[in-house]
């Protein structure tokens, strides 16, 4: 045990990082009299980039590898980490962040697009370490328990968010391959003994190339391999584009290019190339010269043609307009700025984009800024069917009603880089026609596929201990709530059938008498849960890693308007606690609004709930009485916060994130003053509560006064601490009261 009980609060990116400048001083002031330390570690994209280049940086610019430090901490029983959402960077974001740091004087190399020299290859390898979902898989040494707290659900019932109407004749649908994709080509084995597998490609000419020399497997580990055919993908995309045009609906593509950082950018690139086929063919030589890489989105072309002579640039721009005119209308990310769904792979992320579309009545934005029905293309069919199930349900029954609907919490398998989380170093774009074999240390071929050039092949691992832990967590949640628990597993899918065998085995380790535990294929499980949710009933979804990601945005966004309000706990397998805040992302749009008009609409409710859970964990594991008082009083404050509707508004002139933090501090201080479990804390916080209450009008006025003007925070990926702190703490009165604790 550390001498001082310590909570680590992560420094991340974008909106949650801005909110931290305001919230963390409040948390530190409130914990100060309790002997609990609240420390930060920097796992922001900028911090992670900097940590990779200690050899190039002077001492004053270095940042240690805090992510690795926290990864090691998650293995210890006293880990207590509050993890805010961070950027999982696409290549365009990574390049922007590097450019910002270079401008600030960091002597970092450019991101090498085509590494040739040893030095470039080394830089590329370091940058690849921070690319995509590089943070969560390192910290998630446990499975996930995500649900809407009761107070949040009650709030949504009383103050339902708006839901777009669903018409019975909506033409919105999901397009998916169904054959020759990851789902249909999957093979899976469970190894009975520990082994080490080699992944090898053998060309049609007999030449052998080792793709990955060593992948150790533990006894009982599941290993899958699968591939998506390039030819099938391209022909599918061609068909979908024609279909969207014929049906007069928008064409939209929904991928997870951040989490699936090797496979999905390749798929994204194919979609861009098919959509702009004629344009690309006509200007092939120029695009090659410019080194345009469509895996970084159509935006890569738009950016790179800026350097062309004016007439050439104008010619290509005219052809772009012609491509827009001849294809189906594209769904837009920002119609004012002409940013389409195909511009940047990290702009449209399936877990958030599909629910947002469903909440809006099955519609996305067109180029004129109007909403339209859409063909939502999700190439791989492993999980696409769940969205079709939701669309069908809404078409038949109308939009779900937040006032009456039940809930679908999730128990997700993700520990130890389970399933797709660990696939990055085992995903390959196939160089030529041949076979890929996975062979164990005895030389036995475990898995084998015949592949063609351009196919995307990948393998995933799932260790046994995390599956056991996940089954236990599911049974515990079913017992604690009395709700049915449904494992979303398809016995006809190779990987799932291996998981089902383990689930059936490990369920026997638990007392399941009286519990309703079922195993249903994902689309069926979705339909079952929707039928119940419409009747106001709750159903626990017990899923693998990708469905965990999808469902913990999907249901929260429909039920409570945003996944930011979720309780998101990761009980670490070695006894520690990782408390994630919300279930969504880092809301880049909120930063844009903040710098434009000094208004931050980020809702920190996820942080408030995570903090209460973190104190509770400290209280339980370290028998820390003051932590228990902090947990209970913060719980009460969170309830009052919701009751009084103190979340940020969306418009200037209402309280924003900073105002919401003031009210949390007020209610928390009042609860500390009202409790009788700890006289010392009562005595400290009674006068603070008094001062905060007396100064309510003044503090709110000081906070509102700054709104409506541009604000300089000294950087996007690495804000200047002094400037950002000043901007996010505009109330001198509040700052003084906090300093007096
Ligand atoms: N756990 C993690 O670390 C995660 C990180 N990410 C990363 O976040 C970035 C953005 O991802 P994206 O898919 O766009 O999803 P986001 O969740 O960041 O944004 C989608 C929308 O959700 C709403 N929203 C999300 N959080 C809040 C909040 N706390 N308060 C109020 N509204 C909120 C906003 O809607 P509105 O515009 O209506 O205000 C926002 O525009 C990416 O870099 C991605 O990789 C994504 C998911 C999880
Ligand atoms: O790690 C990431 O990139 C995203 C994770 C995510 O979206 C989630 O866990 O819900
Ligand atoms: Mg997610």
Please check whether residue 127 is in contact with residue 52, taking contact to mean a CB–CB distance below 8 angstroms.
Answer: yes
CB count within 10 Å of CB 672 equals 27
Question: Residue 3: its pLDDT value, please?
Answer: 76
Separation between Cα atoms, residue 49 and residue 60, nearest integer Å: 15
Q: What is the pLDDT of residues 20-69, one digit of tens each?
A: 999 999 999 999 999 999 999 999 999 999 999 999 999 999 999 999 99
Which of the listed residues 22, 140, 156, 584 should we mutate to test ligand 1's pocket, taking the one with most ligand atoms within 8 A of CB?
Answer: 584
Task: With a cut of 70, say whether residue 1 has pLDDT above it.
Answer: no
* Nearest residue (CA) to ligand 2, atom 2: 133
**Residue ID of nearest Cα to ligand 1 atom 4:** 585
Confidence band of 87 (pLDDT split at 50, 70, 90): very high
DSSP 107-154: -PPPP-SS--SHHHHHHHHHHHHHSBS-SHHHH--B-EEEE--HHHHH
Cα(687) to centroid of ligand 3, in Å? 42
552 lines ligand 2 (CB under 6 A): yes
The predicted-structure confidence for 216-243, as pLDDT tens digits, reads as follows 999 999 999 999 999 999 999 999 999 9
* Ligand 2 neighbour 549 (Cβ under 6 A): yes
What would the two tokens of residue 470 be?
């996940």
Cβ–Cβ < 8 Å for 121, 738: no
Domain boundaries, the chain: 173-182+229-397
Is 590 within any annotated ligand binding site?
Answer: yes
Whether 468 has a pLDDT exceeding 70, the answer reads: yes
The stretch 467-494 carries a mean pLDDT of: 98
d(CA 387, CA 399): 14
Q: Give me the pLDDT at residue 421, please.
A: 86
Q: Cβ distance 741 to 688 under 8 Å?
A: yes
* Structure confidence by residue, pLDDT tens digits, 90-117: 999 999 999 999 999 999 999 999 999 9
Average pLDDT over residues 347-353: 96
Ligand 1 mutation pick, 359, 586, 650, 716, max ligand atoms within 8 A of CB: 586
Q: What is the pLDDT of residue 2?
A: 53
Ligand 1 binding pocket mutation candidate from 264, 587, 594 (most atoms within 8 A of CB) = 587
Q: Residues near 1 by Cβ (< 8 Å), separated by ≥ 6?
A: 78, 622
Give 641's contacts (C-beta < 8 A, 6+ positions apart). 605, 608, 647, 660, 663, 664, 667
Tracing tokens 């010392």 back to the chain, one arrives at 680
Test site for ligand 1: of 22, 82, 84, 85, most ligand atoms within 8 A of the Cβ = 85
Is 84 annotated as belonging to a binding site? yes
Gap from CA of 584 to ligand 1 centroid (Å)? 5
pTM of the model: 0.97
Helical segments of 417-536, H only: 464-481, 494-507, 522-534
Confidence of residue 651 (pLDDT cuts 50, 70, 90): confident
Query: Cα dihedral angle (547, 536, 174, 272), rounded to 10 degrees?
Result: -60
Q: How far apart are CA 182 and CA 255, in angstroms?
A: 14
pLDDT at 517 over 80: yes
| Residue range 668-688, pLDDT digits in tens | 999 999 999 999 999 999 999
For ligand 1, atom 38, which residue shows the shortest CA distance?
562
Q: Whose CA is nearest to atom 3 of ligand 2?
A: 133
pLDDT recorded at residue 546: 97
Q: Is 554 touching ligand 2 by the criterion CB < 6 Å? A: no
603 is in an annotated binding site: yes
Ligand 1 atom nearest to CA at 135 = 3
Residues with CB under 5 A from ligand 3 (ion): 351, 549
The verdict on whether residue 138 carries a ligand-binding annotation is yes
Tokens of 293: 């890489």
Rounded average pLDDT over 396-410: 97
Average of per-residue pLDDT across 479-499: 98
Closest Cα to atom 26, ligand 1: which residue? 564
CA–CA distance, 314 with 312 (Å, rounded to integer): 5
Ligand 2: residue whose CA is nearest its atom 8: 549
pLDDT (tens digit, 9 = 90+) per residue, 288-334?
A: 999 999 999 999 999 999 999 999 999 999 999 999 999 999 999 99
57 is in an annotated binding site: no
Which of 634, 597, 575, 633 minimizes the C-alpha distance to 708?
A: 597
Which protein residues are within 6 Å of ligand 1, measured from CB? 85-88, 136, 258, 346, 349, 352, 562, 564, 582, 584-589, 601-603, 606
What is the rounded average pLDDT for all residues in the chain?
A: 97
Cβ atoms of 242 and 175 within 8 Å: the answer is no
> Rounded to the nearest whole angstrom, what is the distance from the C-alpha of residue 630 to the centroid of ligand 3?
29
Strand order in the sheet with 517-520: 37-42, 6-11, 80-83, 577-581, 567-571, 144-147, 410-412, 540-543, 485-488, 517-520
Binned at pLDDT 50, 70 and 90, residue 650 comes out as confident
Q: What is the DSSP string of 233-265?
A: HHHHHHHHHHHHHHTT-EEEE-B-TTTSTTHHH
Residue nearest (by alpha carbon) to ligand 1 atom 6 = 585
Residue 136, annotated as binding a ligand: yes
Q: With beta carbons less than 8 A apart as the criterion, state whether 436 and 211 touch.
A: yes
Mean pLDDT of 503-519: 98
Q: Measured in whole angstroms, how far is the alpha carbon of residue 565 from the centre of its chain? A: 14
């Amino acid at each position: 045990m550390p001498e001082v009980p310590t909570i680590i609060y992560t420094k991340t990116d974008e909106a949650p990082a801005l909110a931290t400048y305001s919230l963390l001083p409040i948390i530190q002031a409130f914990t100060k009299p309790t002997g609990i330390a609240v420390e930060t570690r920097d796992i922001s994209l900028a911090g992670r980039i900097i940590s990779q280049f200690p050899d190039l940086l002077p001492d004053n610019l270095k940042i240690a590898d805090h992510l690795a430090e926290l990864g090691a901490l998650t293995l210890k029983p006293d880990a207590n980490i509050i993890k805010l959402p961070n950027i999982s960077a696409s290549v365009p974001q990574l390049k922007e962040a590097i450019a910002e740091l270079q401008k600030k004087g960091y002597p970092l190399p450019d991101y090498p697009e085509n590494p040739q020299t040893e030095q470039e290859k080394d830089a590329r390898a370091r940058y690849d370490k921070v690319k995509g979902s590089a943070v969560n898989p390192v910290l998630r040494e446990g499975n996930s328990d995500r649900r809407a707290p009761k107070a949040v659900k009650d709030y949504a019932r009383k103050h339902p968010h708006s839901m777009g109407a669903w018409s019975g004749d909506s033409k919105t649908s999901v397009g998916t391959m169904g054959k020759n994709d990851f789902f249909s080509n999957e093979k899976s084995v469970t190894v009975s003994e520990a082994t080490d597998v080699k992944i090898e490609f053998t060309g049609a000419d007999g030449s052998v190339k080792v793709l990955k020399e060593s992948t150790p497997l533990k006894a009982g580990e599941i290993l899958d391999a699968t591939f998506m055919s390039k030819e099938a993908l391209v022909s599918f995309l061609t068909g979908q584009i024609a279909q969207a045009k014929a049906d007069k609906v928008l064409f939209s593509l929904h991928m997870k290019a951040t989490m699936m950082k090797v496979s999905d950018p390749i798929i994204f690139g194919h979609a861009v190339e098919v959509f702009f086929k004629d344009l690309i063919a006509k200007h092939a030589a120029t695009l090659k010269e410019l080194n345009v890489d469509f895996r970084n989105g159509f935006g890569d072309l738009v950016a790179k043609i800026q350097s062309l002579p004016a007439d050439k640039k104008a010619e290509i721009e005219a052809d772009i307009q012609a491509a827009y005119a001849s294809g189906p209308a594209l769904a837009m990310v920002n119609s004012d700025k002409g940013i389409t769904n195909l511009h940047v792979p990290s702009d449209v992320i399936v877990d958030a984009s599909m629910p947002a579309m469903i909440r809006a009545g099955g519609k996305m934005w067109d180029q004129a800024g109007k909403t339209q029905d859409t063909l939502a293309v999700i190439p791989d069919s492993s999980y696409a069917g769940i969205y079709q199930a939701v669309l069908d349900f809404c078409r038949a029954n109308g939009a779900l009603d937040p006032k009456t609907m039940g809930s679908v919490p999730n128990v997700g398998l993700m520990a130890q880089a389970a399933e797709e989380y660990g696939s990055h170093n085992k995903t390959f774009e196939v160089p030529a026609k041949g076979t890929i074999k996975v062979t164990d240390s005895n030389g036995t071929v475990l898995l084998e596929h015949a592949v063609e050039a351009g196919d995307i092949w990948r393998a995933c691992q799932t260790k046994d201990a995390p599956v056991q832990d996940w089954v236990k967590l599911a049974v515990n949640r079913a017992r604690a709530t009395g709700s049915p628990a449904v494992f979303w597993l398809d016995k006809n899918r190779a990987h799932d059938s291996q998981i089902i065998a383990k689930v059936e085995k490990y369920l026997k380790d638990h007392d399941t008498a009286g519990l309703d535990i079922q195993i249903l294929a994902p689309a069926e499980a979705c339909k079952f849960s929707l039928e119940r949710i419409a009747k106001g009933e709750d159903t626990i979804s017990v899923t693998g890693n990708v469905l965990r990601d999808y469902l913990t945005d999907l249901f929260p966004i429909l039920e409570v308007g945003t996944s930011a309000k979720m309780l998101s706990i990761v009980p670490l397998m070695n006894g520690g606690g990782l408390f994630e805040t919300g279930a969504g992302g880092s809301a880049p749009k909120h930063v844009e609004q903040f710098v434009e008009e000094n208004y931050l609409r980020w809702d920190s409710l996820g942080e408030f709930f995570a903090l209460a859970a973190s104190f509770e964990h400290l209280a339980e594991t370290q028998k820390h009485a003051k932590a228990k008082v902090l947990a209970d009083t913060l719980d009460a404050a969170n309830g009052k916060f919701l009751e009084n509707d103190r979340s940020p508004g969306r418009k200037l002139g209402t309280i924003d994130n900073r105002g919401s933090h003031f009210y949390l501090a007020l209610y928390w201080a009042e609860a500390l003053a009202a409790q009788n479990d700890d006289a010392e804390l009562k005595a400290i916080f009674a006068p603070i509560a008094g001062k905060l209450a007396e100064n309510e009008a003044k503090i709110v006025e000081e906070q509102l006064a700054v709104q409506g003007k541009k604000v300089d925070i000294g950087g996007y990926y690495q804000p200047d601490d002094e400037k950002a702190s000043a901007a996010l703490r505009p109330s001198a009165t509040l700052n003084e009261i906090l300093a007096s604790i």
